[in-house]
Amino acid sequence: MPKKLRALLLLLVSCVYSLSLFAQSVTIKGSVKSAASGETIPAVSVTVKGTSTGVYTNEKGEFSLTVPSLPVTLVISSIGFESKEVNVTSASTAVDVTLASASSLGQEIVVSATRVATRILESPVSIERVSATTIQNAPVASYYDVITNFKGVDMLASSLTFKTPTTRGFLGSGNVRFNQLVDGMDNQAPGLNFSVGGVIGLSELDVDNMELLPGASSALYGPGGMNGTLLINSKNPFKYQGLSFQVKQGIMHTDNRFRDMSGYTNWTLRWAHKVSDRFAFKITSEIIQAKDWVAADYRNYDRATGLPKGGDRITDAGYNGINVYGDEIARDIRPIINNFAAIPGYAAIIATLPSTMPVSRTGYTEKELIDPNTVNFKMGGSLNYKINSNTEAILSGFWGTGNTVYTGSDRYSLQDLKMGQAKFEINSKNWLVRAYTTQENSGNSYNLTATTSYFNELWKPTQVWLPEYIAAYMNGRVTGGLNDQQAHIAARAFADRNRPAAGTPQFNQQFNFIKGVPIGKPAAGAPLGGGRFLDKTDLYAAEGQYNFSDITKGFADILVGANYKRYVLNSQGTLFADSTGPIGINEFGAFLQIAKELFKEKVRLTVSGRYDKNQNFAGRFTPRATALIRLSPNNNLRLSYQTAYRFPSTQMQWINLFVGNDYQLIGGVPAFRTFYNLNGSPVYAIQNDQVTTNKVTVTDLKPESVTSFEIGYKGLIANKLLIDVYGYYGQYQDFLTRRLVFQTATNRKFSIPYNTTNKVKSFGYGISLDYRLPANFLVGVNFASDELTDVPAGFQAGFNTPKYKTNIKLSNTGFGARKAYAFSVVYKWMSSYKFESDFINGEVPQINTLDAQVSYKLPSNKYIFKLGGSNILNQYYVQAPGNPAIGALYYISIGYNIY
């Protein structure tokens, strides 16, 4: 037989065989409804019992599942409902299933605790979980705020859209001790060193769940997780299908106290479509528009102590307002005034003057400098392809841009900030690999202090302004008969004549010019440069993990993983010491986890270890050991020993920035010691704004670390009361912080990073009680306490956490006719606390807030209406000195197909 004919016959046989197989397959169709409300339920899992074959119901609650043959048993399951098994013997009749409601207390599945799926009741470490249903019913304007309803969580708002969470202390804007991962990607801006989950990341309708690991968590998730790790996971288009949208409109500043009443807009859209059993995609977008909260703390600031002090612009000629900028430029005019002593009539007045007479330039308030219009736009999407029933390939990306305000060592206006993340991932039952990149662009962002100081120099240089001030002051004292305060007021008015008023064309033209000139880049009209920083730093990362449990289950469950990161710093010399070109930083790490059941599965012991290496620092090993003791069904005791650490941030390694207080922020890599000759030309410590005789030796930086011990209990009593309680103890060492030094040979001040030798200890505890009442009502209360001890006198730890805080909650996710009504009320209280930062120190008063929301769902057409607000009593509060005062935000929304 000719070869071509033989090949043709084989092809025909294979086609006939394939057709026969196809003919034997059976497609089962059906729907799933709620027994309580009668409405269809989307995103319900429908699987063939004993296999991985399955689908999810679509937005109409319908499913279509192809199986090789009948009969089969289908398992129908969804969180919040009782699972049901259905025997299917014929495909000619639709399989219509109703599911009864069930309590989900303690039944959620979490992954972050051990990187494998675990019931939350059996997590060996403390963990909190937020579901999409929780977000839908929470009285918050942004899903990011939901985690503040959990025990022990603190959140710092630098502006409406820039918020930073932490647990167990060390709250700060852009917290580098707290990891945030979005779909497995590090959400930190690689150059600016703060996470941007609330600005750039998932839109609200695309959030499937959030998992929060309080405290040390580096052993599985790498450097940075000293005070917690937050994992935000998006919705899979195979499971969550259809078109969804939400239009939220609100009002802010209702009492016109800091700003005229203004609107709030948040529009969100998501569209997901399953093209076939193998391919699905989604597209998401969200836009937020509002007039931001106002930072209006005009108290006088003492640079020597870092604390507010008495006096204002009228009573103190050297006034330095907290949220006033440009007044950081100050000079002692007393030595210059002494030169007037030879003039007849002047000596007698000069003899009565104080020994020092600081005078500062006249500044501008933050409200006058920053565009109040906050705009945040983000979009995302994914292409999902199922290679087989266990393996899925995902190509996804997120991109966002916006205006916001950030508090670091100063206040920064982030204008036209852009950041994008793109990822390719393949995950299977026992393994995953992913590669992603983060692309950052600081846009037209600028430093408020530097910009305003240079603006003052632009309209009138200090070398002109100051002599005018001194001459007018002395003239007022000697010939005008003015007292000291009156003479200072008159002198300022004279020196400030023709000063551009905020908002005028002259002001806008000059200020926009200076804020557009890059830092350290002299330009015509700006010989010292301007306030804009350029940053286009990138991150490239790859990671993978493999679960050997199917192979080693007779011995133990074994999980291994590894990752690689490369940072490429690119600020063109405006932020980093990269004037000659981008700077690369490489990191890699690997972990091993072994878990074993002991004593007839009464105890599950898990040990893990991780090794990480940054090219600029010695490698670090971080071990973890946990034990879960099953006291009885749904009642578990947990014990853990955990370690965590962080490498110095990219800024702490390579920053090279001149700031408004006449000193240079520099990094800690050895190149800076060489370039500035810090050890060859001695530097001396500065304390209380005075140079001391204490010589400082600049040494190599080390990673900061914490060792933590925890005991906890989580139990479900009578299927109604969920109890979670914990206590922890931690010890921090090698704190990374900064100190000011003075180099006598160059007459320059530097802010240098260093590790402290102090070891400080933290301890705390927390408890939460959630009780399911009849008719689907849920009441909850939680309480937490965190404290730092063994802090040496004069040491600034930056713990920044209330000693006590509590939340009280009452909610119902469905009551009344057809379970169409829902509501949630949350009361929060936290005690006063001390706040320390590079910007300013001070006391934060206690905070009381009340949040509430009611909603009504139209089951027939999937629409939901909400009316709610955060801080509805409009009790303004500030979470850190120099940060904005936050008032009420009231909103109404309409949503479609939200699940």
Question: Is the confidence at residue 745, as pLDDT, over 50?
Answer: yes
- Of the segments 462-471, 516-525, 691-700, which one has the largest average pLDDT value? 462-471
Q: Which two tokens stand for residue 882?
A: 């120099």
For the segment 621-644, what is each residue's pLDDT rounded down to a tens digit?
999 999 999 999 999 999 999 999
Residues 6+ away with beta carbon under 8 Å from 700: 668, 670
Cα four-point dihedral sign 173, 174, 177, 179: positive
**In 3-state terms, what secondary structure has residue 811?**
strand
Averaged pLDDT, 394-406: 94
Per-residue pLDDT averaged across 300-321, rounded? 91
332-360: per-residue pLDDT in tens? 999 999 999 888 889 999 999 999 999 99
Q: Is pLDDT of 404 > 60?
A: yes
Q: What is the pTM of this model?
A: 0.92
Whether 215 has a pLDDT exceeding 70, the answer reads yes
* Six token digits for residue 761: 């200890």
% of residues, the chain, pLDDT over 70: 97
Task: Supply the pLDDT for residue 51.
Answer: 85
Q: What is the CA radius of gyration of the chain?
A: 31
pLDDT for 13: 42
CA distance 554 to 569: 48
Q: How confident is the model at residue 20 (pLDDT cuts 50, 70, 90)?
A: very low
With a pLDDT cut of 90, the percent of the chain lying above it is 76
Which domains, and CATH codes, for the chain?
3-99 (2.60.40.1120), 300-368+461-497 (no CATH)
Q: What is the pLDDT of residue 22?
A: 40
pLDDT digits (tens, 9 = 90+) for 666-713: 999 999 999 999 988 999 998 877 889 999 989 999 999 999 999 999
Lowest mean pLDDT among 102-116, 211-225, 476-490: 102-116
pLDDT average, residue stretch 530-555: 94
Q: Is 366 helix (H, G, I), strand (E, B) or coil?
A: helix
Which residues lie below 8 Å from residue 874, measured CB to CB, with a gap of 6+? 254, 255, 887, 888
Spatial neighbors of 569 by CB under 8 A, at least 6 apart, are 190, 191, 537, 576, 578, 582, 583, 584, 585, 650, 654
pLDDT band at 16 (very low <50, low <70, confident <90, very high): very low
Mean of the pLDDT values across residues 415-442? Answer: 96
Q: Give the pLDDT of residue 660.
A: 57
The answer to whether the CB of 332 falls within 8 A of the CB of 290 is no
User: What pLDDT is stored for residue 661 in this prediction?
Assistant: 58
Residue 37 is predicted with a pLDDT of 80
DSSP string, 634-702: TEEEEEEEEEEEEPPPHHHHHBEEEETTTEEEE--SHHHHHHTTTTTS-EEEEETTEEEEEEE------
In this predicted structure, the answer to whether residue 199 has a pLDDT above a threshold of 90 is no
User: CA–CA separation, 68 vs 684, rounded Å?
Assistant: 79
Q: What mean pLDDT is reported for the chain? A: 92
Residue 91 has pLDDT above 90, yes or no: no
Per-residue confidence (pLDDT) for residue 883, from 0 to 100: 96
| pLDDT tens figures, 217-250 | 888 888 989 999 999 999 999 999 999 999 999 9
